[in-house]
Each structure stands twice: as C-alpha cells, then as structure tokens.
Structure 1
Amino acid sequence: MLEVRNVTRVFGSRAAVDNISFAIDRPAFVGIIGRSGAGKSTFLRMLNRLTDASAGQMLVDGRDVLALRGADRRAWQSQCAMIFQQFNLVPRMDVASNVLHGLLNRRSTLATMFNLWPRTDIERALQILDRLGIAEQAPKRAEALSGGQQQRVAIARALMQDPRIILADEPIASLDPMNAQIVMDTLKRINVEDGRMVIANLHTLDTARRYCDRVIGMRDGRIVFDGTPEQLSTGVARDIYGADAGFNEAATSTAIPTDHEPDRSYADRMLA
C-alpha cells in the first residue's frame, strides 16, 4: 500500500531524513517516535508533498507520489490529509466553515472566498462533527474552543477530505492529559472503523505502545527501530533517544491517564 524507498531530504549540508526505507501493507496505525530533530516531521511533510524530497521514492499502490506535479499533486494532498500540532484552523472563522475548508482543493477560489458551499457538503461537515462529539460547536468561532476541541475540528477537516491516509504531526503535544486521550482515541477509532491508515509522529513511548500497531523509531534522520509496540524495550528506547539524553521511562511516557484505556469497542475488534 505504501512503500518508502531510499528517501532522503537534505537541508544545506545536513540530511534531515537520511536514506530511509520501509513498507506498510495495510491500513495500520503507525507511530513514528524519536527526539526533536530526528526527521519525523520532515518525513510526513514529504509524504504530503509540503516538502520536496532530495532523493528516493514513495510509492502508494505502485505510484510514486513524489513525482506528482500540478493537479495530480493537489489531488494526492486531498487523499493524504495532514493534522498539525498547532491545529492550523482559521481562528475567527466558525467551526463548520473550518471543516468545510478540507475541500479547498476541490472547490473554486471564488466559491471559497464567499464561503459558498453545497447543502450536501454542509450536512456532511455537521455529521462528521457529530461523530467526533462536537456538533454543538459548529456555529462558534474556532478561537473560542479549547485546545482539545480545536484538534478535533482539525481531525474533522481532515475527514472532510475523505482521505486514504491521515498524517498527524505531534497531535497531542500541546494538549492536557484528558484531551490528549480523547484525540488519540478519536484517531484510533477512525483507523479501525474507517480502515484508514494513520501515521502519527509521537514523542512518548507510552502513547505509541497503547495506540499503535507498528512503531518506527528515528534518530538523526535514520530508522533505528521498526517493530511492534511490544518490542519497545528500555534498551530499544535508548537506541532511539540516545543514552546521552538521560533516557528514562518517565521522561518519555505520556501524560495520558493510565487508568483510562482506549475505547474497547474497537480495541476488541482489533484483537478479534
């Protein structure tokens, strides 16, 4: 489904991503972990075509998305939605309109400028917000919402694109523990119920262990671990984060409350 072949991104004399290769053959929930500057965000931005690669290929069903140009590139960006740490909403715009902006690549500039949307699109946006438990926030300005609610609006905007792949770049880094849990549960539910691949950059081992089917560890632009959450031992974590980082479990564990487990309705289906 997704095959990354020898992908490199060089900035000046430094390789932010250094000749990485891996393949994902099903719509899994994949976590990418590592220290700041390990190359995690650069990789996601290359896959979404926000940043160009210096070398290599990223094949989706055999098509190299790094080679796409013009309309084909924009079409791919619609299929590969991006969720950012800082939400990237329009603060003074209402929530429903922010969600509808997930369709920007498919709408005319004029219609977007005047905020003109077909009734079917508006209804779908409201249905997505209802699914994420924030339908009552639809008429409010995005800036009036809490951080967790804003991130769910960003997820709703991504779903509006009806993407094959959702990329999440540190989606809970700026959230409090309870909102972090809600956002991660939401992404997991979308992965399992919709059959969409989710690739999330995460800082913490505990979050990766609880939500991911597969974990890729990056250090200095290279992949140093690729395996299951169960294989994330303390020794492996030292390889990823580096002994010089003063690694310990507490330093890389999430603040998500440990007495709350992900929604078993979909976790049980995963294990069935």
Structure 2
Amino acid sequence: MLHINALTKRFGDKAAVDAASFQVDKPMMIGIIGASGAGKSTLLRMLNRLTPASEGSVEFEGRDVLGLKGRDKRNWQSQCAMIFQQFNLVPRMDVVANVLHGTLNRHSTVRTLFNLYPEADIHRAIDILERLGIAENAAKRAEALSGGQQQRVAIARALMQDPKIILADEPIASLDPMNAVIVMDALRRIHEEDGRMVIANLHTLDTARRYCDRVIGMRQGRIVFDGTPDQLTTGVARDIYGAGADFSEEATSTAIEQPQKPLPESLQLA
C-alpha cells in the first residue's frame, strides 16, 4: 500500500529526516517514537504534503504522492488526513461546523463561506460525533470543550474526509492520562472497525506497545528501529533515545491505568 524510500528533508545543512525508508503492505496501526527533534513530525508532514521533501519517494497504491499537484494533491490530503497535537479547530465555531470542515475539498468556496452543507453531510457529522461519544456537544463552541473532547472533534473532522490513512502527530501529548486513553482507544477502534491505516507519532513507550501493531523508532532523523511492540525492549528504547544505562521508561510514560495488554516481564524495568 504505502512505500517510502529514502525520504529526506533538509533545512540548510541539517537533515531533519535522513533517508527514511519503510513500507506498509496492509492497513495497520503504526507508532513512531523518538526524542524531541528526531524528525517524527517532519516525516508525517511530508507524507501529507504539508512540507515538501528534499529527496526520496512516497508511493501509495502505486501512485507517486510527491509528484501530485493542484486538485490531485488536495485529494491526496483528503485521503491522508492529519490530526494535530493542538487540535487546529476554529474555537468560536460550533462542533458540527468544525467537523464539516473535513468536507471542504468537496464543496465550492461559496458554500463554505456561508456554511451551506448538504443535509446528508450534517447527519454524517453527527453520526461520527455519536460514534466518538461527544454528540451531545454538537451545538457547543469548540472552545467550550475539554482538551480530550476537542481532540475527538479533530478525529471526527478527519473521518469526515473518509481517509484511507490517518496521520496523528502527538495526538495525546497535551492530554491527561484519562483523556489519552479515550483518544487512543478511538484511534484503535477506527483502525480495527474501518480498516484504515493509522500512523501516530507518540512520545510514550507504554502507549506504543499497547495500541500499535508496529513501532518505528527515529533518532536524529534516521529510522533506527522497525519492529513489533514485543521487540521494543528497554535496551532498544535506550538506543532510540540515545540514553545511557540510567534511562527510565517512566520518563516516557503516561501512567495510563488498566493497560489493554500487560507488558511481558522482559520489558519491565527492575
């Protein structure tokens, strides 16, 4: 499905992403981990075409993603929806209108300016909000919601695009542990129930192990690990984060209670 080959982004002499290569042959949930500045966000932004690549290639279902322009590029950005750490909602606009923004690529400028959406789209937006457990907030301004609720609105907006891939850039970094569970549960259900590929940048090892089928580790712009959650041992984590023997996973933990999958003893710190 998705083939990434030697994808590189340079800012001056520095390579934020350095020859990243991996391929995904079926829909799965993938976590990308690494220290701040490892290149995780830049990688996702290149996949979505928000940031131009310096070198390399991205192919999805045999199509050259980096060569797309105009309408074809906008269509790709609809198929490859992006969720951000800071939600990127319109604060003074109601929740339903924010969700309906996921259809902007399908409607004229006039319709968008006057918030004229087809009734079918409005019903679909409410159905998605219901699925995410926040339909009762549909008429509220986005700014009136909690952070966890706002992130679910952002997920609903992404689902309105009916994407094949959802890219989530640190979706729980600004949330408390309880809301982090709710958001990650939602992303996992979307992958399992809809068959959509989800690629999420994560700052916590415990979250990556519990929710992801595959984990990619980045360090200084390069991919240094690509494997299953069970292969993400403490020693591997030290290499990814460039840490010494005093490295503690507690520094990257959300302290989420009641994990979905208990950690094997081999992955727990003494």
| TM-score, structure 1 normalization | 0.94
Partner of 1:219: 219
Note if 1:150 corresponds to 2:150. yes
Partner of 2:23: 23
CA distance in 2, matches of 1:152, 1:245: 38
Gaps of 5+ in 2: 262-270
Partner of 1:190: 190
Number of residues of Structure 1 aligned to a counterpart in Structure 2: 261
**Larger deviation: 248-257 or 204-213?**
248-257
CA distance in 2, matches of 1:16, 1:260: 33
The 3 A distance-change label for structure 1 pair 220 and 246 is farther
Q: For 1:21-170, what aligned pairs fall within 5 Å after superposition?
A: 21-170=21-170
- Checking the alignment, whether the CA contact within 8 Å between 2:97 and 2:115 is kept in structure 1 is yes
CA distance in 2, matches of 1:24, 1:180: 26
- SS at 1:47 equivalent: helix
Gaps of 5+ in 1: 263-272
Calculate percent identity across the aligned residue pairs.
75
- 1:179-203 Cα offsets, whole Å, 9 max, x none, are 0000000000000000000000000
Shift of 1:256: 1.7
Shift of 1:70: 0.7
Note if 1:171 corresponds to 2:171. yes
**Larger deviation: 202-211 or 238-247?**
238-247
Shift of 1:106: 1.3
State the one-letter code of the partner of 1:216: I
| TM-score, structure 2 normalization | 0.95
CA distance in 2, matches of 1:55, 1:158: 28
- SS at 1:112 equivalent: helix
**Larger deviation: 243-252 or 203-212?**
243-252
Shift of 1:64: 1.2
- 1:204-231 Cα offsets, whole Å, 9 max, x none, are 1100000000000000000000000000
Shift of 1:107: 1.1
Note if 1:261 corresponds to 2:255. no
Shift of 1:255: 2.6
Q: Superposition RMSD on alpha carbons, in Å? A: 1.1
Shift of 1:261: 2.8
- 1:112-134 Cα offsets, whole Å, 9 max, x none, are 11111010000000000000011
- SS at 2:120 equivalent: helix
